[in-house]
């Protein structure tokens, strides 16, 4: 078995394609069902965030698994085979392991070092566990990746140098509406990203903060946590007219704020500058609002350009060192677990031969003293241990390199082994 990472993320995929690849509950269930039915996939989980839709899977056959996952995404989303071929981000084997660790550490995020991905990956794992789609290999991988991500945030200053999408958006908003300390911010939605937006805005010292959510009670609860106010969804139009900066991330499959909504708000505002920060995927706010006088729409694509590459920062390099060491440890542990059943079977077979021959020696040499018999036993065991040392070391080395299969088959054939839990 080898790990496969397959899907779309902001690094290789335009936002327009990422929007079509976004998974709602129905399409997520369809992707999971296709992966579950694949003969070449034994374990899998799906992570879907505002800038990535990826499947991590333990696979027995690379090409078969890729074909099945291609079918899963193209049949369940608006992605075409041409889009997938051009933009899919695919990692296999050790590279896939490294990718998962980088994702957990925030090193593959649009806002490098952001910590929200830890919660998203943990939620994806919990869902896959509850549905019985992950086993020992994938569970161990993701658990270690999550621990490494926490270690990166605890031991480096990456949180201080990485700006979140919200912070970057608020910086841009301030360029249009003036000091945030004098701005009224409206947050549409009450999910995890909306909570992050509200908290960040509150910490930036905005003048007023209002939350509007489809379920009013959840909006009220979020507003109370951040010292803001809440309005029911029926008052969205009035709330838009009052707000200088609107942040939307509802997770809705359709538009949350249309062109007519913003045009009406502008009439009430008599043309005063207004910024719409769209953090949703698919997008919440009609792109056309950017054409209205006095209105600026900032989406994920624009924020990606604002954040830019941050790979040369020393804090990022320190994080990469931590991730690199963790990946090496995991690969070593994984290799040992792959080789372990065959190594155990080989040593068990050798032990049986030793015990059989020593028992026969006992019968043929009754005159041998207990001391001599014990010394002979130790000598035989030492000889067997030395004979098995190199095959054992070689088995682990080949497992690390991903070339253990043929070696395992040769050992089983030569020594007539029956290794329970073997990879073959």
Q: Round to whole Å and give the CA distance between 325 and 228.
A: 44
Is 249 tagged catalytic? no
Q: Which of 50, 97, 107, 411 is catalytic?
A: 50
What residues act catalytically?
50
């Amino acid at each position: 078995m080898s790990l496969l990472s397959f899907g779309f993320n902001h690094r290789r995929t335009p936002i327009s394609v990422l929007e079509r690849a976004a998974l709602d509950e129905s399409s997520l269930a369809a992707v999971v069902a296709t992966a579950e039915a694949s003969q070449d996939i034994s374990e899998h989980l799906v992570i879907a965030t505002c800038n990535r839709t990826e499947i991590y899977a333990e696979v027995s056959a690379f090409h078969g698994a890729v074909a099945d996952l291609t079918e899963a995404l193209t049949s369940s989303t608006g992605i075409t085979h041409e889009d997938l071929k051009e933009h899919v981000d695919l990692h296999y084997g050790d590279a896939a392991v490294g990718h998962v660790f980088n994702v957990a550490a925030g090193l593959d995020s649009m806002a490098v070092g952001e910590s929200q991905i830890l919660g998203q990956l943990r939620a994806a794992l919990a869902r896959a566990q509850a549905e019985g789609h992950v086993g020992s290999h994938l569970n161990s991988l993701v658990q270690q990746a999550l621990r490494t991500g926490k270690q990166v945030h605890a031991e480096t200053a990456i949180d201080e140098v990485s700006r979140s999408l919200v912070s970057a958006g608020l910086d841009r908003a301030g360029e249009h509406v003036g000091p945030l300390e004098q701005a009224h911010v409206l947050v549409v939605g009450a999910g995890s990203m909306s909570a992050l937006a509200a908290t960040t805005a509150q910490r930036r010292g905005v003048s007023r903060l209002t939350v509007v959510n489809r379920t009013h009670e959840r909006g009220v609860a979020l507003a109370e946590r951040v010292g803001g106010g809440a309005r029911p969804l029926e008052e969205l139009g009035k709330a838009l007219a009052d707000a200088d900066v609107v942040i939307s991330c509802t997770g809705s499959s359709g538009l949350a704020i249309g062109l007519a909504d913003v045009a009406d708000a502008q009439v009430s505002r008599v043309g005063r500058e207004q910024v719409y920060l769209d953090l949703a995927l698919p997008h919440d706010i009609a792109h056309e609002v950017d054409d209205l006088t006095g209105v600026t729409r900032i989406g994920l694509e624009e924020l990606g350009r604002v954040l830019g590459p941050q790979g040369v920062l020393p804090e990022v390099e320190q994080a990469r060192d931590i991730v690199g060491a963790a990946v090496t440890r995991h690969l070593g542990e994984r290799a040992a677990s792959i080789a372990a059943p065959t190594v155990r079977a080989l040593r068990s077979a050798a032990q049986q031969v030793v015990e059989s021959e020593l028992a026969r020696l006992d019968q043929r040499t009754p005159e041998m003293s207990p001391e001599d018999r014990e010394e002979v036993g130790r000598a035989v065991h030492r000889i067997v241990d030395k004979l098995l040392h190199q095959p054992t070391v070689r088995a682990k080395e080949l497992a690390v390199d991903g070339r253990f299969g043929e070696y395992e088959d040769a050992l089983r054939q030569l020594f007539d082994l029956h290794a329970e839990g073997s990879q073959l």
